[in-house]
Structure 1
Amino acid sequence: MNSSINPSWPFLVALACFASIPGEGQIVLTEPQAVEIALQNHPSVKAALIQVQEKTVLKGAAKVWEPAEFFHNIAADPDYGMFGATTFGLSQAFPGRKTTVANRLYADRQRTLAEAGLNLTKQQLAKSVRELYLHLGFIESEAALYRRLDSLYQEVAAVADKRYVAGEVALAEKLALQDKAAQMRLALETTGHEIEFDRVVLRQLLGLSEPVSPVLQPFERMSFSLADTALVGNSAQSLFNRASVGVAESEQAIIQAARAPTFAGGLFVQALPNGIVQPGWQLALRVPLAAKSLRAGEEASGLRVQSAGASYQAELLRQRNEMAHLLHEQEKYEILLGYYQTRGKALAEELLRSAALNYRSGEISFVELTHVAEQATHIELGYLENLFGLNLTVIELRTLIGQ
């Protein structure tokens, strides 16, 4: 009976059924645990942390000391000609107060930008982990459906085999049902491979060398509150763009500070032609004279500030438009899932139950059986796909507001 069925299929079914059971040496992780490990191990987070440290160190260089100047002057003398009084000295320009304040502000803004970049990196990484867990839950639910359908097709294939032996049905019907059963086994096998592939991707994302066995929550509906839509301005992306505006403003402050005068002081020793050596000191006021180039630089920095501000507003508008689109998607999926809860679920269950029962009793043909089973499968798969789409949309919405 059913001699054409591949003998390796029971093993494949078992593989799909028990793919979620952790084996020896596997790391069992819930979704929050996986997110935490990813935030600790991923190279992008480490790189972002180093950038924050770099900007913290940069603040120590806010007070800029220019290189000291050693000088040697010779003054002409009426009696000694071109080699009169000789002066040896050291001169040092002092850091300008305005420049130092501007540099400190720039370092602070750079650190804020680096921290915002770190938070953005963490948020995107956590989103990737959550999406992987969501997809694993979807595939597991899909596999459960395929196991139900596999049981149905194996049962009716056995019935067709008996009828063929009894001469009640043609060979074509028997072979067609065996093919349907084989196709369902292949679909079940495919889900097992998808689960294993997602586990490999998850292990690589977490930076682990051991296999990972994810602990999946029930594949249920997630939700997003409309009251949280106002939080889009506080998302990691918005904070990063806002910090970019702050950096542009601090760069403008540095250029403006360059127009302020600074002081320089020095000590020297003067040797007179008559052999007398005398110490001295000097104080200088350094005034920028190339005002035109400074004004051009200041004007350009002002334009950069305006550009950064416009980019921030444009990105904020894009996020709000994206949120509106995602909210529309959420509403669409809610409507589709509502139909399944009210009618679709009961209809699909009854179709699958009655299909096998009616075929066994001879009330329906193979064609009718296939049509009814495919209709029920369409309803069930549609529900899973819509639920996956809804939950994926909710993850996108939560990421958009920084949750």
Structure 2
Amino acid sequence: MKIKVLYLSLWLFLAFPIEGYPQKVSLSLTAAIDSALQNNLGLQSAFQKVEAAKAMVPMGFNLDKTQVFYRHDQNDIAENGFSNKVFGINQGLQFPTVYGKQRRVLEDMTLVEQQQYLLTQNQVIKEVSQTYYTILYLQKLEYNYRFLDSLYQQFSNAADRRYDVGETNYLEKLTARSKMRELAVRLAQTTESKNQALVRLEQLIQVGSVFEVPDQPLDLLLISEWSEDSHPGIGFYKQSVQWKTDNVTLEKQRLLPDIYGEFFRGTNTGPNARVYPGIQVGVAIPLWFGAQKAKINSSKYELMQTSLAAENYTFQLDNRRRQLEIELQKYQEAISFYTEEGKQLSRQLITQGNQAFKGGEIDFFQYVLLIENSRNIEVDYLINLQGYNMTVLEINYLINP
């Protein structure tokens, strides 16, 4: 009976081997970016800062607490000879224009946080794109190194057999083994780099499931044009300057007099008691301006500092873009060589090498060198293509000059 149960369990396991195992999701670049925008906790944290700033805007109209009071003064004698008991309320408020400017400053802070969020979003999109294309690059590099690794394993085995029968010397055997080990190390390093990039992508998109990046063509990326009006970094500094400007105006308006009003009613419990209403209004005029003038001067310096930082950011951003465009030309030259000559040369090396080896014109060692040279042309192209695409993404999402 136990044997039948064991047999049945084994049959179920073999019949449904994937049950309980997570299935890998094929992830496109668009899906990766969308997932990062929805799930990235750092981006969500930046968004909450925007919401917190929005929630602060109504505080622009922040009246002081209303005072309710009771006063009994023995000197306050009514007509019936009894002292009055007075109940009343008073309210103080700043000069009315201050509240409008306070709200404007808080709205400026919200816009600054929104621009900061766009900067963070831009950075996340750039990192996701760079990581995704790095994985594609490493997958193709891994394919080339795996091919060469297999080829040199065959070469090493052939060299060992030839050495055993005395058809070659020990130097060729050592050369074959060293090349095999070299390619094995390159392959292992490339695989580890690819796995590391996959972990980095998971860290960015936080998709919560197992995914894979499907093999696909690795093409040249295009440069996206952006203007100063649409750049989040420049927008951040422009809005920061506006914030500091409004803050200077606000600090100046705090020198305006405060206004207060008081309403009260007095009466007593004696015979023929009457109700005595009253009202009192006034202004609070600052007699000592030193502290507020210090705040005004400080806010002016902050405005000047922010304005200079904005100018420097714009200058450095343009300069950095020009540097990256020059760097792009370096990769473009290598890519153009591959497109115009290298790709055809690589194919010819393989074709001619196969014909020469089959015809006995070259030995296996020479054949392997030809194949390696062909693959090295492909590898060099991939390396320059990766550098080109990373530079294009840096230009398209340029934030930090």
- Shift >6 Å, 4+ stretches: 83-86, 272-276, 368-371
Work out whether residues 266 and 282 of structure 1, in 8 Å CA contact, stay in contact via their aligned partners in 2: yes
Amino acid aligned to 1:119: L
Deviation track 1:26-59 (CA, whole Å, cap 9, x = no partner) reads 2221111111111111111111221121122111
Work out whether residues 64 and 95 of structure 1, in 8 Å CA contact, stay in contact via their aligned partners in 2: no
Give matches, 1:298-317, under 5 Å.
298-317=296-315
Work out whether residues 142 and 191 of structure 1, in 8 Å CA contact, stay in contact via their aligned partners in 2: yes
- 1:339, CA displacement in angstroms? 1.4
Match of 1:400, SS?
Answer: coil
Q: 1:92 to 1:77 in 2, by over 3 A?
A: closer
Are 2:334 and 1:336 aligned? yes
Aligned match of 1:28:
26
Aligned match of 2:265:
269
Q: Percent identity?
A: 23
TM-score by length of 2: 0.81
Give matches, 1:285-296, under 5 Å.
285-296=283-294
Aligned match of 2:188:
189
Aligned match of 2:237:
241
- 1:379, CA displacement in angstroms? 3.2
Work out whether residues 39 and 206 of structure 2, in 8 Å CA contact, stay in contact via their aligned partners in 1: yes
Q: Distance in 2 between matches of 1:374 and 1:281?
A: 99
Q: 1:135 to 1:118 in 2, by over 3 A?
A: same
Q: Distance in 2 between matches of 1:77 and 1:154?
A: 111
Q: Distance in 1 between matches of 2:343 and 2:39?
A: 42
Aligned match of 2:295:
297
Greater mean alpha carbon deviation, residues 139-148 or residues 62-71: 62-71
Of residues 247, 253, 256, the one that matches 1:257 is: 253
Work out whether residues 200 and 211 of structure 1, in 8 Å CA contact, stay in contact via their aligned partners in 2: no
Greater mean alpha carbon deviation, residues 237-246 or residues 310-319: 237-246
Aligned match of 1:346:
344
Aligned match of 1:61:
59
Q: Distance in 1 between matches of 2:214 and 2:94?
A: 59
Q: Distance in 1 between matches of 2:269 and 2:325?
A: 90
Match of 1:283, SS?
Answer: strand
Greater mean alpha carbon deviation, residues 40-49 or residues 208-217: 208-217
Amino acid aligned to 1:107: L
Work out whether residues 333 and 389 of structure 1, in 8 Å CA contact, stay in contact via their aligned partners in 2: yes
Give matches, 1:2-401, under 5 Å.
24-70=22-68, 72=71, 74=73, 87-224=86-223, 228=225, 231-270=227-266, 278-351=276-349, 361=360, 363=362, 366=365, 375-400=373-398
- 1:306, CA displacement in angstroms? 1.8
**May I ask how many residue pairs the two structures share in their alignment?**
372
Work out whether residues 136 and 213 of structure 2, in 8 Å CA contact, stay in contact via their aligned partners in 1: no
Match of 2:286, SS?
Answer: coil
Q: Distance in 2 between matches of 1:400 and 1:55?
A: 26
Amino acid aligned to 1:259: L
Q: 1:58 to 1:77 in 2, by over 3 A?
A: closer
Work out whether residues 268 and 281 of structure 1, in 8 Å CA contact, stay in contact via their aligned partners in 2: yes
Amino acid aligned to 2:319: N
Deviation track 1:343-396 (CA, whole Å, cap 9, x = no partner) reads 223334444555676677364695x67765665454333221111111001001
- 1:73, CA displacement in angstroms? 7.2
Amino acid aligned to 1:269: R
- 1:173, CA displacement in angstroms? 1.7
Amino acid aligned to 2:231: S
Q: Distance in 1 between matches of 2:356 and 2:178?
A: 20
Which runs of 5 or more residues in structure 1 are unaligned? Answer: 1-22
TM-score by length of 1: 0.81
Work out whether residues 34 and 129 of structure 1, in 8 Å CA contact, stay in contact via their aligned partners in 2: yes
Greater mean alpha carbon deviation, residues 303-312 or residues 347-356: 347-356
- 1:136, CA displacement in angstroms? 0.5
Match of 1:269, SS?
Answer: strand
Amino acid aligned to 2:249: A
Work out whether residues 39 and 122 of structure 1, in 8 Å CA contact, stay in contact via their aligned partners in 2: yes
Match of 1:256, SS?
Answer: helix
